[in-house]
Amino acid sequence: MVPRYSRPAMTAIWSSENRYKIWWAIEVFAAEAMGKIGMIPADDAATIRNAYDADVLGEIDVPAIDAIEAVTKHDVIAFLTWAGEKLGPERRWLHQGMTSSDVLDTSLAVQLKQSADLLLDDLDALLDVLKRRAIEHKMTATIGRSHGIHAEPVTFGLKLAQAYAEFDRCRTRLVAARDDIATCAISGAVGTFANIDPAIEAHVAAELGLSPEPTSTQVIPRDRHAMFFATLGVIASSIERLAVEIRHLQRTEVLEAEEYFSPGQKGSSAMPHKRNPVLTENLTGLARVVRSAVVPAMENVALWHERDISHSSVERFIGPDACITLDFALARLTSVVDKLLVYPDRMQRNMDRMGGLIHSQRVLLALTQAGLSREDSYALVQRNAMRVWESDGQLQLLDLLKADPEVTSRLSNDELEGLFDLGYHLKRIDTIFARVFGDSA
Amino acid sequence: MVPRYSRPAMTAIWSSENRYKIWWAIEVFAAEAMGKIGMIPADDAATIRNAYDADVLGEIDVPAIDAIEAVTKHDVIAFLTWAGEKLGPERRWLHQGMTSSDVLDTSLAVQLKQSADLLLDDLDALLDVLKRRAIEHKMTATIGRSHGIHAEPVTFGLKLAQAYAEFDRCRTRLVAARDDIATCAISGAVGTFANIDPAIEAHVAAELGLSPEPTSTQVIPRDRHAMFFATLGVIASSIERLAVEIRHLQRTEVLEAEEYFSPGQKGSSAMPHKRNPVLTENLTGLARVVRSAVVPAMENVALWHERDISHSSVERFIGPDACITLDFALARLTSVVDKLLVYPDRMQRNMDRMGGLIHSQRVLLALTQAGLSREDSYALVQRNAMRVWESDGQLQLLDLLKADPEVTSRLSNDELEGLFDLGYHLKRIDTIFARVFGDSA
Amino acid sequence: MVPRYSRPAMTAIWSSENRYKIWWAIEVFAAEAMGKIGMIPADDAATIRNAYDADVLGEIDVPAIDAIEAVTKHDVIAFLTWAGEKLGPERRWLHQGMTSSDVLDTSLAVQLKQSADLLLDDLDALLDVLKRRAIEHKMTATIGRSHGIHAEPVTFGLKLAQAYAEFDRCRTRLVAARDDIATCAISGAVGTFANIDPAIEAHVAAELGLSPEPTSTQVIPRDRHAMFFATLGVIASSIERLAVEIRHLQRTEVLEAEEYFSPGQKGSSAMPHKRNPVLTENLTGLARVVRSAVVPAMENVALWHERDISHSSVERFIGPDACITLDFALARLTSVVDKLLVYPDRMQRNMDRMGGLIHSQRVLLALTQAGLSREDSYALVQRNAMRVWESDGQLQLLDLLKADPEVTSRLSNDELEGLFDLGYHLKRIDTIFARVFGDSA
Amino acid sequence: MVPRYSRPAMTAIWSSENRYKIWWAIEVFAAEAMGKIGMIPADDAATIRNAYDADVLGEIDVPAIDAIEAVTKHDVIAFLTWAGEKLGPERRWLHQGMTSSDVLDTSLAVQLKQSADLLLDDLDALLDVLKRRAIEHKMTATIGRSHGIHAEPVTFGLKLAQAYAEFDRCRTRLVAARDDIATCAISGAVGTFANIDPAIEAHVAAELGLSPEPTSTQVIPRDRHAMFFATLGVIASSIERLAVEIRHLQRTEVLEAEEYFSPGQKGSSAMPHKRNPVLTENLTGLARVVRSAVVPAMENVALWHERDISHSSVERFIGPDACITLDFALARLTSVVDKLLVYPDRMQRNMDRMGGLIHSQRVLLALTQAGLSREDSYALVQRNAMRVWESDGQLQLLDLLKADPEVTSRLSNDELEGLFDLGYHLKRIDTIFARVFGDSA
């Protein structure tokens, strides 16, 4: 976790305090269930639950727990020792028949679920902003580019609608990944429930909003986690896509959009054009960081037999790093889109810089439909188009065509002008918006 | 694609013949739709469709198409030229208003969907075998191991049930990934439908069993593909897990299971024990291969603007490689599990080699429940356990306990023997099986 | 291996024919050495060597060998059976005391060394072209861009010199990786030379131009291969860098350079500007492909004990794929750079489009040196610069400064003009070229 | 960085304090050089250098610098502001003509070089321990295993010698990677030295023990960093290999070696065999973590034009994480090897558990050499070997052979016993050790 790329709410999820609180909940809910089935005295179980509801732990004293762990060399025991002091003799029933992994893996599941919920909120915020700005620029014409080369017109809103659709898919995937990861395992040393009734697991799962893990070994199987981090990697890649788009649009020669800067803000020097797309560049890098969690998470799946502990160190890194970084990145991207400076005039000017060549295909088609052979049509268009191209935008294709008798003998000026109509390209933007946003667009 | 790691059905999906057949279907269905909306003459459209239904193309002549492509330098045009020769003048209506990517991306979607369907069949076959063998060995006791060290008993069937549950999750994920990838885009040069009615796309999609892509640029967005290959990577990781389990079980010192060899088959030498788990070792490697597609697929997402072509070369590798290799690996794993030689006697012997130490925890608990302090109980068990341990399996813990007056003053012989009951550990196997297999187990 | 991304010489290295030829050489050289130390009859050893020198094998009959393998299920035995038929009874001495891995791993080392040699040739060709074009455009001024935003002038030759320096480093790294991988292991079943004298290994190594592996297990340790493929991954990343640079330069709005197209060549349509940087986009994708070999190669290192066979399937993919693809990519990049269309006029025009703002920092400094405070200097420059910026390149900073009395009271027209001198920025290009190219530039 | 997987010396390299100290050194050395060439007054330069030598900064006040950065939004300016307060008016000469990247990239080079030096020390310590224990167990016979299956005898020392050779190669690679990364760039905004004499760079480089970067853009090219992190990834993979070896040896059924535990130490429960190889399992996971830096470092290479800032966030993670984690892992591995409990008796017992089958190949060969056909020899050995195999180690092959008249008619008892001589397999251990360790072994 790098502090400058983190936000408080997600960082809190991955704090020691939160982890201990989740452990406490697991132990308490387990004890409560043990009381219900008579594994431990019902009164003591109730006392424990009441203590939980009364928040007897209060603030978690992490240094105190750390100090105990330094002696016991066991994190769960250290916590139970500290927490037990807040209880009476009923403390002895805590953790009966359970194994550390029951607590650790279920706790990780809760943290990942909490993280997923926060990331879903982030996605919702991003989707809101994308939708608002897509609608704002629904008909803001701009050139579509394939291979970085001008192709045909689109709208800036359409670009944002495409991003909306992409992040909406990411949302769906994350919901699935969250459900995949949100399981509870309290099944004992090798997952056989030899020393613990499955009813305990069922109760804890219900209290925590998790599903019972159908069959665990000692641990929750790591294919779930692999899928989770792979999904984060896909989301990060989508972030990269939009970030790269914005970086392209802000290039000096393009300058169709810019990351926000306040009116009075100075550029980095005397050169007022030196406004760098540092936020989206940063997002490009953060996407690489989030993605780097994917392969290790997959390598974690093949634990030996009922478990080894090799995954643990990996997860201490990628758990917080991937979640915290992705949360930060989504929020940053939302802010960038929210405040993005969009320059429709410049979009128009860039589109025009080819002197109307972007319409040459329609002219070609019209000449063919007017009865000229395709070869002759091509030659006609090409000879005019080449002049426009060589003038570097000084000449206009429409002007040349109007002055070319071989053209005008087939197409009237009105017809020619109609072929240069932007509306032709944008006539189905409404349809596409309806497909992306439904009735709400 | 490496021939030795490929199977015919999946290889056929990625053949040139299949790709051309899909292109043909796309062009024909598009023409049919154009006829319906009056974009081209309805009769000609019907002629094209009839030709398709009559299979006028017959065998695809790949070398002939290649020869045309060598001249035209354009794969779609080369194909259309070749295919057009099988039609009459109605051929001119093919590909009207479409762009190459409409064909290429939709075709890739079909190939990936076909691949997913085949992989789902593979998974079903694997699940069947896992279930059969899990039930067969439902109560075959074996030692559970954490950290590679004996822990407490499980059953061999439970191991397989856990694999079943894992691959069942993989199945669910693959269904989602298939639906994610199975979209059809026929939207023109920059995705605006400027030259083509969305109704064309809707018809082609319906005919091919795809969903219309809500909004494409020129291409189907690559986050879909990234998710697909990421999912294959997770499945590969699960294959690795089971393969590693079997490799461990076949180690000389463990030898609880072996990849199949026929009764008359010679080992690799005069040494009859030299039966190597080469199939599961191979699967371990193939998992790495499938996984290697994940990161490039994610790097493919951030195409520039409406598209660049950098993803194409990547997909020419990872498309066939990941699908063909995973298909092969799933089938190989299914065969390995199907024919796996399982040695329950050896499992029992390995479990016993600790002289009953695996039951020491229960004894400890029983002594505590019989009124001894936890510390004294621990000391009692520990002093007997250490003797067993130092005897390297020659002494039995139960014997020593029965001969220890401090133990026998608390626990009768019957009680002690009861503590060494395997059934204690296996009593909830039924429950777990019901959770994994439902009523069918 | 994807045929369209392969070249014959590298493909031949990875052909079955070449692999069998290397096996043959290993077996023959081993027999020769065995003859020398009296392990087999010297006459027979000489006969074998003579047969090798006389090329008795001739064309390798791969289908025949495959047919034998289909029966023996063992590739090395199949080959030896086929090859033995070309010999007399001395054939029985072949492969004495050797293990298959001795042949397979040494053979792979030869293939990788041959590949490295070819890749080094590729790098040399690329370096030649980069140097030639760097010198050609040594003083072709162009704008340097940080964050995609105009910064200060550089030269196009400098960009190529930087690429030269980068690929020269890649060359050095590849030489090291080649030496790392080029070892010979003929050490028997577990690497102890129990059945084979180390002198055999020494002789084979010497004949093949390899170093003896100081200590093998059964296999050559895979850290060597990991380093090799990691090095290819770095080279691929450098290819990506230069490819992305060219893609940027070819963007419609920038258009300072273009991939070659012949004078008569038509663009993809009536639009003459539609020349897409498809080669460098392709290189961007191929870089991802080569890089995808790195992680699996690293995962191959941790073979179990003296070896397992999990690495083998991985290497059947990444060996040919990474080498063939990188060879192709280097050659393609060399061709792109060789024939790159460079537009110095456009570079100048782009540089000028900011109306001279790229010189504003020098003006600021000069005003400060002329006695004005930094704050006042900044204000003076900024107010003129903002007018230029807002004019979108219609106004020139130099003109405005010459018309600003507060400026002209400190700096004469001559002084001002001197501050707009490109030469100031390019005065050390010679020095840098000498650092990169030495005396030869 | 995860505190539990970090050590103080490496963590200090990546602390803010160290980074600021390096910045200070760069600025001071640059000023000193500027004084020498008359770019700034020589006296002021000398004053700055003297202040540096007198350590006027003292303890770095990170919070104070952070507070300034919160205002200036610029880290280098914030530091210079803080540091400048420790100087007199000569402070104004600091950073003249330099750009932030000059400081940042050169500083990163120093940190990476310092890290490499520490890692080289770590490797030396590991090599020392490996050598000592290799020599200690040079002739400790143990079974060699291919595919996890018993093959032929090796020695435990040989295993460690192989690890030594591997880490010695890693050392060589790291020296190369260190030299690759250890360059100094002080070349201004786009690397043209327009505002700064190359002599400044030369002086700073010499003072810091770096090489001048032959040609930078604004930044030091990232192929250097990619190579560095790739090399760390290879080292991590070698750590994984030895860690996995030890985990295998500690398995309950094998138990030929164990991670150290003190004589009085309790296992995790009443079961004295429950000593888990948690350190080497942890190393397996940490290898995955270090390796995860490789791909992002390669993705960082293709910065746009003269630089973008996307690499920066990546390096804030992988710089400290990879170096700190690898340092920790090397130290942990050194400690594990140093104190590894080795059980030669158990190695012998495991080797013997096959009843001598590991010698069957030698018997086969001897029978052949005694004149029997290979087929008959095989049949003879095989029928005895099968009985041994089926007895699960109760019968000894030597006994059976001595009792088989068809065998004894060809081989005397003495001859047979000689074939079961371990020394045959170990006779070249000396030779191998000399190859690995030279004269020092």
Which value does ipTM take for this structure? 0.96
Class of B99-258+266-351+428-441 in CATH: mainly alpha
Q: What is the pLDDT of residues B254-305, one digit of tens each?
A: 999 999 987 666 655 556 678 899 999 999 999 999 999 999 999 999 999 9
Could you tell me the pLDDT band of residue D267, with boundaries at 50, 70 and 90? low
Task: Report CA C262 to chain centroid distance, whole Å.
Answer: 27
| D357-419 is classed CATH 1.10.40.30 | yes
What is the rounded distance in angstroms from the CA atom of residue D195 to the CA atom of residue D97? Answer: 5
* CA distance between the termini of chain A: 38
Mean pLDDT calculated for residue range A259-267 = 73
Could you tell me the pLDDT band of residue D265, with boundaries at 50, 70 and 90? low
From chain C, which residues contact A within 8 Å (Cβ)? 143, 145-151, 247-248, 250-254, 266, 269-278, 281, 295, 299, 350, 353-354, 357-358, 360-361, 363-364, 378, 381-382, 385-386, 389
Backbone torsions φ then ψ of A150, nearest 5 degrees: -55, 135
Assigned token pair, A400: 């040349």
Q: What is the pLDDT of residues A182-213, one digit of tens each?
A: 999 999 989 999 989 999 999 999 999 999 99
* Pairing outcome for strands C257-258 and C141-146: unpaired
Mean pLDDT calculated for residue range A84-99 = 92
Per-residue pLDDT, A408: 95
- The DSSP secondary-structure symbol of A73 reads -
D421 has pLDDT over 80: yes
Q: What is the pLDDT of residues B32-80, one digit of tens each?
A: 999 999 999 999 999 999 999 999 999 999 999 999 998 888 899 899 9
CB contact under 8 Å between D5 and A310, yes or no, is no
D372 has pLDDT over 60: yes
Nearest chain B residue to A101, by CA = B146
Residues in chain D with CB shorter than 8 Å from the CB of C288 are none
Among left, alpha and beta (phi > 0; psi -120 to 50; other), residue A267 is: beta
Mean pLDDT calculated for residue range A27-33 = 97
Mean pLDDT calculated for residue range A171-176 = 98
- The DSSP secondary-structure symbol of D210 reads -
Q: Beta-carbon neighbour count of residue A265 at 10 Å?
A: 8
What is the rounded distance in angstroms from the CA atom of residue D239 to the CA atom of residue D283? Answer: 7
Per-residue pLDDT, A299: 98
Considering only CA atoms, which of A120, A131, A123, A119 is closest in space to residue A338?
A131
- The DSSP secondary-structure symbol of D144 reads E
- Angle at CA of residue C127, ends C123 and C131, nearest 5°: 175
**Cβ atoms of C254 and C344 closer than 8 Å:** no
What separation in angstroms does the CA of D289 have from each of D2, D277, D293?
A: 11, 19, 7
CB contact under 8 Å between C291 and D295, yes or no, is yes
Nearest chain B residue to C281, by CA = B310
CB contact under 8 Å between C271 and A378, yes or no, is no
CB contact under 8 Å between D253 and B350, yes or no, is yes
- Count of CA atoms in the C-beta half-sphere (13 A) of C153: 32
Candidates B252, B364, B386; nearest CB to D150: B252
Three-state SS for C144? strand
**Beta strand ranges found along C156-193 (DSSP E):** 183-184
User: What residue segments make up the domains of chain D, in order of their start?
Assistant: 1-96, 99-259+271-351, 357-419
Q: Dihedral, CA atoms, B54, B59, B62, B63, nearest 10 degrees?
A: -120
What is the rounded distance in angstroms from the CA atom of residue B398 to the CA atom of residue B401? Answer: 5
Residues in chain B with CB shorter than 8 Å from the CB of C292 are 292-293, 295-296, 318
Q: Beta-carbon neighbour count of residue B433 at 10 Å?
A: 22
Q: What is the pLDDT of residues D192-222, one digit of tens each?
A: 999 899 999 999 999 999 999 999 999 999 9
Mean pLDDT calculated for residue range A281-289 = 98
Q: What is the pLDDT of residues C269-311, one digit of tens each?
A: 556 678 899 999 999 999 999 999 999 999 999 999 999 999 9
Considering only CA atoms, which of B221, C148, C275 is closest in space to residue A149?
C275
Candidates D285, D314, D325; nearest CB to A311: D285
Q: What is the b/e burial string over D369-385, where b = at least 16 CB atoms within 10 angstroms of the residue's CB? A: eeebeeeebbebbbebb
* Token pair 């549950």: residue: B165
Specify whether B238 is catalytic: no
CATH hierarchy code of domain D99-259+271-351: 1.20.200.10
Burial class of residue D36 in the structure, from the number of CB atoms within 10 Å of its CB (0-12 exposed, 13-18 middle, 19+ buried): middle
B392 has pLDDT over 70: yes
Given B268, B313, B373, B391, which residue is catalytic?
Answer: B268
Residues in chain C with CB shorter than 8 Å from the CB of D188 are 152
Task: Report CA C104 to chain centroid distance, whole Å.
Answer: 26
Q: What is the b/e burial string over C16-32, where b = at least 16 CB atoms within 10 angstroms of the residue's CB? A: eebbbbbbbbbbbbbbb
Alpha helix (H) ranges present in A257-309? 278-291, 294-299
State the DSSP H helix or E strand holding residue B342, giving kind and residue range, or none if neither: strand B341-342
What is the rounded distance in angstroms from the CA atom of residue A30 to the CA atom of residue C11? Answer: 63
What is the rounded distance in angstroms from the CA atom of residue D219 to the CA atom of residue C179? Answer: 31
Considering only CA atoms, which of A342, A336, A341, A222 is closest in space to residue A278?
A336
What is the rounded distance in angstroms from the CA atom of residue C118 to the CA atom of residue C115? Answer: 5
Per-residue pLDDT, A361: 84
User: What global pTM score does this model have?
Assistant: 0.97
CATH hierarchy code of domain C99-348: 1.20.200.10
Given D147, D262, D269, D273, which residue is catalytic?
Answer: D147
What is the rounded distance in angstroms from the CA atom of residue C108 to the CA atom of residue C303? Answer: 17
Find all residues with CB under 8 Å of B12, minimum gap 6, and list them. B18
Name beta bridge partners: C342. C257
Among left, alpha and beta (phi > 0; psi -120 to 50; other), residue A191 is: left
Q: What is the pLDDT of residues A349-380, one digit of tens each?
A: 999 988 998 898 889 889 988 888 888 888 89
Mean pLDDT calculated for residue range A122-132 = 98
What is the rounded distance in angstroms from the CA atom of residue A163 to the CA atom of residue B202? Answer: 22
* Token pair 């087939």: residue: A410
Q: Dihedral, CA atoms, D6, D10, D14, D19, nearest 10 degrees?
A: 160
What is the rounded distance in angstroms from the CA atom of residue C284 to the CA atom of residue C325? Answer: 12
For the domain with range A100-191+212-260+271-354, which CATH number is right: 3.30.1600.10, 3.20.20.140, 3.90.420.10, 1.20.200.10?
1.20.200.10
Q: What is the pLDDT of residues A291-349, one digit of tens each?
A: 999 999 999 999 999 999 999 999 999 999 999 999 999 999 999 999 999 999 999 99
What separation in angstroms does the CA of D56 have from each of D11, D17, D19?
A: 24, 15, 17
Per-residue pLDDT, C261: 83
B441 has pLDDT over 90: no
What interhelical angle do D100-136 and D75-84 show, nearest 10?
90
Per-residue pLDDT, B371: 87
What single string gives the DSSP state of each residue in D181-241? H-EE----TTSS-SSS-HHHHHHHHHHHT-EEPSS-SSS--THHHHHHHHHHHHHHHHHHH
Specify whether C137 is catalytic: no
Residue of higher predicted confidence among A369 and A149: A149
What is the rounded distance in angstroms from the CA atom of residue C93 to the CA atom of residue C29? Answer: 12
Considering only CA atoms, which of A137, A4, A163, A23 is closest in space to residue A79?
A23
Residue of higher predicted confidence among B409 and C393: B409
At residue A222, what is the residue type?
R
Mean pLDDT calculated for residue range D340-359 = 93
Average pLDDT, chain A: 94
* CB pairs C-D closer than 8 Å: 253
Dihedral sign computed on CA atoms, order A366, A370, A375, A380: negative
Assigned token pair, D286: 């940490």
**What percentage of chain B has pLDDT greater than the value 90?**
84
Given A146, A147, A262, A273, which residue is catalytic?
Answer: A147
What is the rounded distance in angstroms from the CA atom of residue A324 to the CA atom of residue A111? Answer: 12
A273 has pLDDT over 90: no
Per-residue pLDDT, A374: 80
CATH fold of C1-96, please? Answer: Fumarase C; Chain B, domain 1 (1.10.275)
Best D149, D240, D282, D365 residue to mutate vs chain B (most B CBs within 10 Å): D149
Given C16, C101, C137, C147, which residue is catalytic?
Answer: C147
Q: Which residue pairs from A72-75 have beta carbons closer than 8 angstroms and sit at least 24 positions apart in sequence?
A: A74/A100, A75/A100
What is the rounded distance in angstroms from the CA atom of residue C7 to the CA atom of residue C12? Answer: 9
D441 has pLDDT over 70: no
Q: What is the pLDDT of residues B305-335, one digit of tens each?
A: 999 999 999 999 999 999 999 999 999 999 9
Assigned token pair, B405: 């007056």
* Token pair 């495409």: residue: A162
Per-residue pLDDT, D97: 83
Mean pLDDT calculated for residue range A96-112 = 94
Q: Beta-carbon neighbour count of residue B399 at 10 Å?
A: 14
Residues in chain D with CB shorter than 8 Å from the CB of B271 are 150, 354, 357-358, 360-361, 385
Residue of higher predicted confidence among C374 and B156: B156
Residues in chain D with CB shorter than 8 Å from the CB of B266 are 382
What is the rounded distance in angstroms from the CA atom of residue B140 to the CA atom of residue B30? Answer: 58
What separation in angstroms does the CA of D154 have from each of B161, C189, C238, D145, D366?
A: 39, 10, 44, 9, 21
Find all residues with CB under 8 Å of D376, minimum gap 6, and list them. D367
**Beta strand ranges found along C87-177 (DSSP E):** 141-146, 149-155
Mean pLDDT calculated for residue range A141-170 = 97
Assigned token pair, D384: 């005895």
Per-residue pLDDT, A96: 86
Among left, alpha and beta (phi > 0; psi -120 to 50; other), residue C393 is: left
Residues in chain B with CB shorter than 8 Å from the CB of A294 are 230, 233, 294-295, 298
CA distance A80 to chain D (A): 17
CB contact under 8 Å between C248 and A378, yes or no, is no
D385 has pLDDT over 70: yes
D408 has pLDDT over 90: yes
Per-residue pLDDT, A266: 61
Q: What is the pLDDT of residues D143-194, one digit of tens each?
A: 999 999 999 999 999 999 999 999 999 999 999 999 999 999 999 989 999 9
What residue ranges of chain C have pLDDT lower than 50? none
**Cβ atoms of C295 and D295 closer than 8 Å:** yes
What separation in angstroms does the CA of A400 have from each of A415, A417, A418, C250?
A: 14, 12, 15, 26
Residues in chain B with CB shorter than 8 Å from the CB of A436 are 214-215
CB contact under 8 Å between B248 and D353, yes or no, is no
Given C74, C268, C310, C391, which residue is catalytic?
Answer: C268
